[in-house]
């Protein structure tokens, strides 16, 4: 049987995560801690003895940098890497670049909580989680999943909300269930899939 391996990793802490800013499609790099988290993720994957055939990431620097550092730790920098905006973080629209505390003062804590934690209510000018899933999921089905099912061992470095969309499908979570799912930065989740694309096993390296 081929090893239908899919590993998902949220990027390491970014400079804006550190400053408590809404990031979305803005493009800050990793913080020092984020670099350390990405390197540690690579070491954890190496300790599992994993070898990858292909990788996917977003068009944003923090995810690409995380992937590069992991592949460097793995000694696998020559594998093909596909970058696509379908894997970008959720677009926070008018909230992007704002301090989260300032946003609460401007719009009220309840409203900001709805934008951050509802499934289908987008912030002004931005995307809801439902919108993000509608962008991310077709790319997963058309580009990533076929690689996994062919036995190509696949590594995906992306973002909290784009990965939530994939996890929602993989783990058959409801909209309410996925909202409660927290993803640590730089923490690999290792899935092995059955031939019908359902999850055979899962290992969380957080």
Residue spans of the domains in the chain: they are 5-204
Contacts of 146-152 with C-beta under 8 Å, sequence gap 24+, read 147/53, 147/54, 148/4, 148/5, 148/6, 148/193, 148/197, 149/4, 149/193, 149/195, 149/197, 150/2, 151/2, 151/3, 151/4, 152/53, 152/54
pLDDT of residue 5: 98
Angle at the Cα of 192 from the Cα atoms of 187 and 194, rounded to 5 degrees: 150
pLDDT confidence band for 206 (50 / 70 / 90): confident
Q: What pLDDT, in 10s, does the model give residues 103-160?
A: 999 999 999 999 988 899 999 999 999 999 999 999 999 999 999 999 999 999 999 9
Sign of CA dihedral 162, 29, 121, 134: negative
> Long-range contacts made by residues 102-109, C-beta under 8 angstroms, separation at least 24?
103/22
Instruction: Single out the residue of 128, 182, 185, 175 nearest to residue 14, CA to CA.
Output: 185
Active site residue 171: no
- For 20, the token pair is 């408590």
Which residue in 11, 65, 152, 159 is the catalytic one? 11
Give the CATH superfamily of 5-204. Phosphoglycerate mutase-like (3.40.50.1240)
What pLDDT is stored for residue 141 in this prediction? 96
- Measured distance CA(198)–CA(200) in Å, rounded: 6
Q: Which of 31-45, 71-85, 170-184 has the lowest mean pLDDT?
A: 170-184
Within 13 Å of residue 39, how many CA atoms lie on the same side as its CB? 7
Statement: residue 167 has pLDDT above 60 = yes
At residue 1, does pLDDT exceed 80? no
- 2: pLDDT strictly greater than 60: yes
Question: Does the annotation mark 82 as catalytic?
Answer: no
Give the chain's mean pLDDT. 95
The span from the CA of 123 to the CA of 180, in Å, is 19
Instruction: Give pTM, 2 decimals.
Output: 0.95
Q: Which residue among the candidates 37, 40, 89, 152 is catalytic per the annotation?
A: 89
């Amino acid at each position: 049987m081929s090893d239908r391996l899919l590993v998902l990793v949220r990027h390491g802490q970014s400079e804006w995560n550190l400053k408590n800013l809404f990031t979305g499609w803005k493009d800050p790099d990793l913080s020092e801690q984020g670099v350390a988290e990405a390197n540690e993720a690579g070491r954890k994957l190496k300790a599992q003895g994993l070898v990858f055939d292909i990788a996917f990431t977003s068009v944003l620097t923090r995810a690409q940098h995380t992937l590069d550092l992991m592949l460097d730790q793995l000694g696998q920098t020559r594998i093909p890497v596909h970058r696509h905006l379908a894997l970008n973080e959720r677009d926070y629209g008018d909230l992007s670049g704002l301090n989260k505390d300032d946003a609460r003062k401007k719009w009220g804590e309840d409203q900001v909580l709805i934008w951050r934690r509802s499934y289908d209510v987008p912030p002004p000018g931005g995307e809801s989680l439902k919108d993000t899933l509608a962008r991310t999921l077709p790319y997963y089905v058309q580009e990533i999943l076929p690689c996994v099912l062919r036995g190509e061992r696949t590594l995906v470095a992306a973002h909290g909300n784009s990965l939530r969309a994939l996890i929602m499908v993989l783990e058959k979570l409801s909209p309410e269930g996925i909202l409660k799912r927290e993803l640590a930065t730089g923490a690999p989740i290792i899935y092995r899939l059955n031939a019908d694309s359902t999850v055979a096993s899962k290992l969380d390296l957080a």
